[in-house]
Amino acid sequence: MEKILTVVIPSYNVERFLRQTLESFVEESVLEDIEVLVVDDGSKDRTALIGKEFEKQYPGTFRVISKENGGHGSTINRGIEECAGKYFKVVDGDDWVNTPDFKALVEKLKDCDADYVVTNYYEVNDKTGEKTARDFRELLNQEDGKSGRWTFEEMASKTQLPMHALVIRSSILKENRIRLDEHCFYVDVEYILYPLPYVEKVAYFDLYVYMYRLALATQSVSMEGYRRHIQNHMDVIMHLTEYASAYRNHAGDEGQAKAAYMGKRIAQMVGDQISIFMSYPAEDEKNKQRFLDFDRELKEKSGWIYELSGHESGTLRLLRKTGFRGYRFLMRQGQKRKGMESNKE
């Protein structure tokens, strides 16, 4: 029986959370329609053992794939290689799904022909349990009032898609050999943008599927995490810049809406990168040089992304305008505007 949906669970030392994650998929009516691949990225705790429990209890649904540590992107790459489902979704090993809406999603995917499928999600505070809804109801346009159908170009003018909201047609990933950076954090934007040239149809279902756990001290998206993995973030920006620029140059008129979507999202990442630089003391000369080198490389790789990124950060625009003279003053002013206090190493 063909699987409707492959769910890949990137897992590294998540024994504290994994049981909750996997239990959220145990819905009798869809077990035969889904496969859940627990990709254990060289964990040193009981992650693989917990996954094996579910594999033993539900052998046609859960499967553990153990591999050497290669980072988040490597687990997704392995999932793409192994997947048998019509559609593909990533749910991190410390997150989970809202079971009733996940069940409804699987049913809707049976008759779906879209390339990207968008659903809502919740951000859940790990300390308080408070849920914050993130929806995409601007994409509603069907008579049932619960769904939407769009071309990618139509959707692109309305919203930006985060990874947690996205389901992708598996054939796009497999046939076009989509691969993310390995041994690297921050590949979520690669996951969204690398398949984009091959996407035509977008569907939206007004369901809250993904439950995204916030406030974990270990999260790479905390400022502490960004600083710890700053080179990874810069590398991903450069790789995406090369990819988007090459696509833009060869896509023709019909591909310019997709190129513009890519450019805006990468420029936003550059804005995030400037915030990371600004989290360091203005007197930090090593950080200043790293900032200069980053901006110079960005300009060399793509004047297009370089120009777009100037719209995302007022501090960056001023620094470029002054040739990075007055760096300390401008950085301090930028920190004040953002309500940031620089963190000394």
- Quickly tell me which residue has 């149809």 as its tokens: 201
CB 227 within 8 A of CB 343: yes
Residues 9 and 142 in one domain: yes
Residues 170 and 316 in one domain: no
Residues 183 and 259 in one domain: no
Residues 10 and 153 in one domain: yes
- Give residue 167's pLDDT: 98
pLDDT tens for the chain, 345 residues: list them: 789 999 999 999 999 999 999 999 999 999 999 999 999 999 999 999 999 999 999 999 999 999 999 999 999 999 999 999 999 999 999 999 999 999 999 999 999 999 999 999 999 999 899 999 999 999 999 999 999 999 999 999 999 999 999 999 999 999 999 999 999 989 999 999 999 999 999 999 999 999 999 965 555 557 788 888 999 999 999 999 999 999 999 998 989 999 999 999 999 999 999 999 989 999 999 999 999 999 999 999 999 999 999 998 888 999 999 999 989 998 888 778 767 655 444
Domain boundary at 145, 179, 214, which?
Answer: 214
List the CATH number of the domain containing 58.
Answer: 3.90.550.10
CB 10 within 8 A of CB 72: yes
Domain boundary at 191, 214, 237, which?
Answer: 214
Tokens of residue 25, six digits:
């998929």
Residues 7 and 128 in one domain: yes
84: exposed, middle or buried (C-beta count within 10 Å: 0-12, 13-18, 19+)? exposed
Tokens of residue 152, six digits:
């990618």
CB 240 within 8 A of CB 189: yes
CA 84, distance to chain mean position in Å, is: 22
Domain boundary at 181, 214, 247, which?
Answer: 214
The parent domain of residue 263 ranges over 223-338
What 3-state DSSP class applies to 143?
coil
Residues 105 and 252 in one domain: no
DSSP state, residue 29:
G
Q: Is the pTM of this model over 0.75?
A: yes
- Quickly tell me which residue has 């990207």 as its tokens: 116
Residues 66 and 87 in one domain: yes
- The backbone torsions φ and ψ at residue 114, rounded to the nearest 5 degrees and listed phi first, read -75, 160
- Give residue 34's pLDDT: 98
Residues 127 and 156 in one domain: yes
| Residue 232: inside a domain | yes
- Give residue 221's pLDDT: 59
Residues 158 and 14 in one domain: yes
Q: Is 252 left (phi over 0), alpha (psi -120 to 50) or beta?
A: left
User: How many domains is the chain built from?
Assistant: 2
Distances in Å between the Cα of 259 and the Cα atoms of 193, 194, 319 are 10, 11, 27
| Residue 345: inside a domain | no
CB 135 within 8 A of CB 206: yes
Residues 10 and 149 in one domain: yes
- Give residue 324's pLDDT: 92
